[in-house]
Amino acid sequence: MSAHSNRRSRIVGSIAGATVALVAVFLGAAPAALAAPPEPVNKYVSLGDSYAAGQGAGLPLDECLRSDAAYPVLLDAVPRTNLLRQAACSGATISDVASTQLSQVNRGTTLVTLTVGGNDLGVGEIFEICAPAPESFACATAVAEAQQLLASGVIGQELGGLLLAIAERAPNARIVVADYPIPFVSGLSPLTDTVNAATGALDAQIGTAAAGAAAAGANVEYTSMAFAYFGHQVGDADPWLGADQFEPLTFLHPTAAGQAVYRDAILATLG
């Protein structure tokens, strides 16, 4: 074969090779260098009270009554989400989260979830005081104090400050705030309707605090759980909350199924 023929063969081969590569790109077999990079792993920290700790959803693991069925643990099982610290603790108030849990987030944190505020209002304590004697002076006082606290707006103000503090410590994090489900079927009793109304008012303040923090520049998103348990409230056939008032560990706390509803709602918010 002549030199001219060899050169022509090389040219034809190069053109054929380039054509095959181009076809491969259009058919989806792109070279590795053009492949999309993997999605980053969420470096996740959970903050909050018993709802985030998982109290009542499984066996308590420690003095904070955390359980393996808590929604942060369920989120940890989602691909590309790594729960670095489960700081949520039963009984925590907004100020408790600020003083004992906030230090768990830092500049490396990329996802924070928060459920807190129920202990500030004391919804469970109201029911505990009022259930035995709904017409008592103690019950009337507890309800009046809760209504006064809600009217003051203090819970929303303190929560808004906490959200801004989280954003300052973890400027690269998405912060998802999840509130509380309305616990009782409507009309069970005047007491349960009072607790439902207080929970709804608390959720409204949580939502307002989240919106205010977002407006101030924090990367805060709000997940409303208020109506998430409808059809599965206390008083329904299959409640997602502990329904036995004589079982304080579980009463008015999400079951394992209820915790899974939190997980799914947060995932929907995250997209």
Tell me the per-residue pLDDT of 80-108, one tens digit each, with 9 for 90 and over.
999 999 999 999 999 999 999 999 999 99
**pLDDT for position 193:** 93
Provide the annotated active-site residues: 50, 253
For residues 2-8, give the mean pLDDT: 45
* Band of pLDDT at residue 41, cut at 50, 70 and 90: confident
In what helix (H) or strand (E) does residue 76 lie, and over which residues does it extend?
helix 71-76
Report yes or no: 253 and 240 within 8 Å, Cβ to Cβ. no
Query: Does position 18 have pLDDT exceeding 80, yes or no?
Result: no
pLDDT digits (tens, 9 = 90+) for 115-173: 999 999 988 888 888 888 888 899 889 889 989 999 999 999 999 999 999 999 999 99
In whole angstroms, what separates CA 191 from the centre of its chain? 28
| Residue 14, pLDDT above cutoff 50 | no
How big is the CA angle at 111 (ends 172 and 270), to the nearest 5 degrees? 110
Per-domain boundaries in the chain: 1-36, 39-270
- pTM score, two decimals? 0.84
CA distance 153 to 143: 16
| pLDDT on residue 168 | 97
The pLDDT confidence band at residue 33, using thresholds 50, 70 and 90, is low
- The Cα 39–Cα 61 span in angstroms is 32
How many whole angstroms separate alpha carbon 254 and alpha carbon 260? 9
50-80 b/e (C-beta count within 10 Å ≥ 16 → b): bbbbbbbbbebeeebbbbebbbbbbbbeeee
Share of the chain above pLDDT 70, in %: 86
User: Which of 104, 1, 74 minimizes the C-alpha distance to 265?
Assistant: 74
Hey, what CATH topology would domain 39-270 get?
Rossmann fold (3.40.50)
